[in-house]
Amino acid sequence: MECRAVTRVLSVTSECAPLVKTGGLADVAGALPGALAQHGVKMRTLLPGYPGFIWKLRDTRLRAELPECFGGPARLLEVRHAGLDLLILDAPHLYDREGGLYLGPDGRDWPDNPERFAALSWVACEIANGLLADWQPDIVHCHDWQGALAPCYIARSPAAQQVRTVLTIHNIAFQGLVPATRLSALRLDSADFTQHGFEYWGKISALKAGLIFADRITTVSPTYAEELLTPEFGMGLEGVLMERRADLSGILNGIDLDVWSPEKDPHIIPYHAPVGKLPNKAVLQAEFRLPESEGPLCVVVSRLTEQKGLDLLLEALPVLLERGGQLALLGTGDPELEAAFTRAAEHPNVAVRIGYDEWLAHRMIAGADAILVPSRFEPCGLTQLYGLRYGTLPLVALTGGLADTVIPATPATLAGTPVATGLQFHPVTDSALSNALARLCALRAQPDLWRRMQRNAMAHPVGWDHSAAAYAALYKNLPGITP
Ligand code: ADP
């Protein structure tokens, strides 16, 4: 294969910041292209044309018309927006509707989710096949189950044989399981509907298709890459991953330091050193109608789901409150958790906002003393990284990316090098979390030690430099990409 100095990569994603976001995938998809540019990688991003943003885009160019795209006509639009080179799949019959990206107004998956994201993956394959005369990718890098059929379509497409594929797992809990009756609707070959293909207990598994057919598989932290090989975390796909072990690696997510930086964050009172957090804490307490207090103000910014372990926090909360601590939570999700936290907010030192608010998230992370992430599993996690950057010490469960990014307070790390940047607890139970909250309160009561941890946390590298270099190296080591 011809080798080019610039590696051309098509990123295939169902969400991408700043245009459309429900979680960490969007942040990663939005930040990677810029971070990779310095490594000779030219990335374009293929994204569904959801109604929430498509009208905002200016100067879109029509690149292709697709008369029959999984049940209706579609267009492929090209646009440069927020520093990203975007290809937008404008397919109104699939995306133009009121509701969430994945869920309808009734809170259930859209019934045609398989077609909605098969279409995205199919169009990625068409681009790999040369749909755009002037741009063909060397690599298609797809994300999660929504993009995971692309490696399968590409592997089965003679015209795209030279294109390599990478699948990144951001969360294995979502696998894109589809009844076998939809095989032909999804343009899949029944010959691949086997145990060695994308069949999973009698269903089509979009994620498994990617795991089988992609040249390389990555996930978003080294610890999660190891955990995925176990029944506890692999969610039924551990055997498939074990077989692909040689091609599986973990590359930590970074955060966008232009967006998450206490020195230049427009949503806060900027600061360079931990002491600068004090006025932000006062603002936050006022905003949440919490009394002024000496105890640690802890925040949570999270989806409210079983994964995030916030039911454990409800159990452990008295330990924090008894020691003069406070909790401010911003989140949305499971109605039962929303109701339980709303009830907890009857306590004067607990405040809760149900909803999604990007700017409030910035003010909370700037103003708090600590950020709590008690997840049962966490592929990487981003909010603990924001916490480090802002000197807001993370208290995290010892799992996945949380284990890889926080240096836990122990007698050794409190005394010497490396210096602790937060607290970790294990096992992920309410009693271990209670103990950790008690330790947090005890540490917060030692201002010199706390400051030292804060300074160390703020100096901890959390940007994309290291990870972008790792992705670039992965791309360049794919067969046919480098000499
Ligand atoms: P996940 O992708 O599992 O939701 P991550 O920690 O990887 O978890 O990423 C979550 C992202 O979504 C972070 O950028 C976080 O700040 C943001 N986020 C989550 N819930 C909210 C919310 N209610 N309001 C604002 N931002 C939120």
- Please write the tens of the pLDDT for every residue from 330-353: 999 999 999 999 999 999 999 999
CB-based contacts of 479: which residues, under 8 Å, 6+ apart? 164, 215
Ligand 1 close to Cβ of residue 361 (< 6 A)? yes
The Å distance, Cα 300 to ligand 1 centre, comes to: 10
Ligand 1 close to Cβ of residue 28 (< 6 A)? no
- Please write the tens of the pLDDT for every residue from 233-254: 999 999 999 999 999 999 999 9
pLDDT (0 to 100) of residue 107: 86
Q: Which of 383, 388, 405 to mutate to test the pocket of ligand 1 (most atoms within 8 A of CB)?
A: 383
CA distance 287 to 361: 12
CA distance 43 to 37: 8
| 227, part of any domain | yes
Ligand 1 close to Cβ of residue 27 (< 6 A)? yes
The Å distance, Cα 355 to ligand 1 centre, comes to: 11
The Å distance, Cα 420 to ligand 1 centre, comes to: 24
Burial of 154 from C-beta contacts in 10 A (0-12 / 13-18 / 19+): buried
The Å distance, Cα 229 to ligand 1 centre, comes to: 25
454 and 477, same domain (yes or no): no
- Give 245-292 as a DSSP string: GGGEEE------TTTS-TTT-TTS---SSGGGHHHHHHHHHHHTTPPP
pLDDT (0 to 100) of residue 174: 96
SS3 (DSSP) at 352: strand
- Name beta bridge partners: 354: 331
109 and 215, same domain (yes or no): yes
pLDDT class for 295, splitting at 50, 70, 90?
very high
223 and 304, same domain (yes or no): no
Ligand 1 close to Cβ of residue 192 (< 6 A)? no
Tell me which residue of 199, 107, 213, 195 sits closest to 156, measured CA to CA: 213
pLDDT class for 482, splitting at 50, 70, 90?
low
Instruction: Return the amino acid letter for 265.
Output: D
Ligand 1 close to Cβ of residue 31 (< 6 A)? no
CA distance 462 to 450: 20
CA distance 421 to 434: 19
CA distance 199 to 69: 24
How many Cα neighbours within 13 Å face the side chain of 112?
A: 14
230 and 298, same domain (yes or no): no
pLDDT (0 to 100) of residue 277: 97
The Å distance, Cα 17 to ligand 1 centre, comes to: 12
Percentage of the residues of the chain whose pLDDT score is greater than 90: 93
Ligand 1: which residue has its CA nearest to atom 26? 358
How many Cα neighbours within 13 Å face the side chain of 179?
A: 4
Write the secondary structure of 43-91 as one string of H (helix), E (strand) and C (coil): EEEEEECCHHHHCCCCCCEEEEEECCCCCCCEEEEEEEECCEEEEEEEC
Q: Which residue in the block uniquely carries the two structure tokens 């950057």?
A: 389
Q: Which of 144, 259, 303 to mutate to test the pocket of ligand 1 (most atoms within 8 A of CB)?
A: 303
**pLDDT higher than threshold 60 for residue 101:** yes
Ligand 1 close to Cβ of residue 323 (< 6 A)? no
For 229, the token pair is 């090989």
Judged by average pLDDT, the poorest of 54-58, 59-63, 146-150, 442-446 is 54-58
- Please write the tens of the pLDDT for every residue from 45-100: 999 999 989 888 999 999 999 999 999 999 999 999 999 999 999 999 999 999 99
The Å distance, Cα 222 to ligand 1 centre, comes to: 20
Task: Tell me the backbone φ, ψ of residue 154, rounded to 5 degrees.
Answer: -70, -45
Pairing of strands 216-219, 164-169: parallel
326 and 376, same domain (yes or no): yes
Ligand 1 close to Cβ of residue 303 (< 6 A)? yes
Domain around 319? 274-459
| 228, part of any domain | yes
Mean pLDDT, rounded, for 367-394: 98
- Please write the tens of the pLDDT for every residue from 256-289: 898 899 999 999 999 999 999 999 999 999 999 9
The Å distance, Cα 480 to ligand 1 centre, comes to: 37
| 336, part of any domain | yes
Of residues 56 and 174, more confidently modeled: 174
Mean pLDDT, rounded, for 462-471: 95
Q: Which helix (H) or strand (E) holds 157?
A: none
**pLDDT higher than threshold 60 for residue 2:** no
Number of domains in the chain: 2
Ligand 1 close to Cβ of residue 280 (< 6 A)? no
37 and 97, same domain (yes or no): yes
**pLDDT higher than threshold 90 for residue 294:** no
Ligand 1 close to Cβ of residue 302 (< 6 A)? yes
The Å distance, Cα 160 to ligand 1 centre, comes to: 36
| 259, part of any domain | no
Is the Cβ–Cβ distance between 79 and 15 less than 8 Å? no
Ligand 1: which residue has its CA nearest to atom 22? 356
CATH number for position 432: 3.40.50.2000
| 110, part of any domain | yes
Tell me which residue of 414, 410, 425 sits closest to 376, measured CA to CA: 425
**pLDDT higher than threshold 90 for residue 1:** no
How many Cα neighbours within 13 Å face the side chain of 321?
A: 18
Sign of the C-alpha dihedral computed for residues 98, 32, 419 and 278 taken in this order: negative
Tell me which residue of 420, 419, 423, 457 sits closest to 438, measured CA to CA: 423
Q: Which helix (H) or strand (E) holds 17?
A: none
Q: What is the pTM of this model?
A: 0.94
Neighbour tally for 368: CB within 10 Å = 28
Burial 331-364 (b: 16+ CB within 10 A, else e): bbbbeebbebbeebbeeebbbbbbeeeeebbbbb
418 and 289, same domain (yes or no): yes
| 377, part of any domain | yes
451 and 469, same domain (yes or no): no
pLDDT (0 to 100) of residue 417: 77
Percentage of the residues of the chain whose pLDDT score is greater than 70: 99
- Name beta bridge partners: 200: 203
Ligand 1 close to Cβ of residue 404 (< 6 A)? no
pLDDT (0 to 100) of residue 3: 45
Q: Which of 14, 27, 221, 373 to mutate to test the pocket of ligand 1 (most atoms within 8 A of CB)?
A: 27
Pairing of strands 177-179, 203-205: antiparallel
| 262, part of any domain | no
The Å distance, Cα 425 to ligand 1 centre, comes to: 21
- Please write the tens of the pLDDT for every residue from 104-123: 998 899 999 999 999 999 99
237 and 357, same domain (yes or no): no
How many Cα neighbours within 13 Å face the side chain of 80?
A: 3
Ligand 1 close to Cβ of residue 408 (< 6 A)? no
Taking the alpha carbons at both ends of the chain, their separation in whole angstroms is: 9
Ligand 1 close to Cβ of residue 394 (< 6 A)? no
CA distance 238 to 175: 13
CB-based contacts of 374: which residues, under 8 Å, 6+ apart? 308, 309, 310, 312, 313, 395, 396, 397, 425, 428, 433
- Name beta bridge partners: 86: 45, 79
Task: Tell me the backbone φ, ψ of residue 468, rounded to 5 degrees.
Answer: -65, -40
Mean pLDDT, rounded, for 356-367: 96
How many Cα neighbours within 13 Å face the side chain of 427?
A: 1
11 and 47, same domain (yes or no): yes
The Å distance, Cα 65 to ligand 1 centre, comes to: 35
pLDDT (0 to 100) of residue 56: 87
189 and 242, same domain (yes or no): yes
The Å distance, Cα 303 to ligand 1 centre, comes to: 6
pLDDT class for 415, splitting at 50, 70, 90?
confident
Q: What share of the chain is helix, strand, coil (3-state, %, to 5)?
A: 40, 20, 40
The Å distance, Cα 254 to ligand 1 centre, comes to: 14
Q: Which of 308, 375, 382, 392 to mutate to test the pocket of ligand 1 (most atoms within 8 A of CB)?
A: 382
| 335, part of any domain | yes
232 and 311, same domain (yes or no): no
Sheet holding 177-179, edge to edge: 177-179, 203-205, 199-200
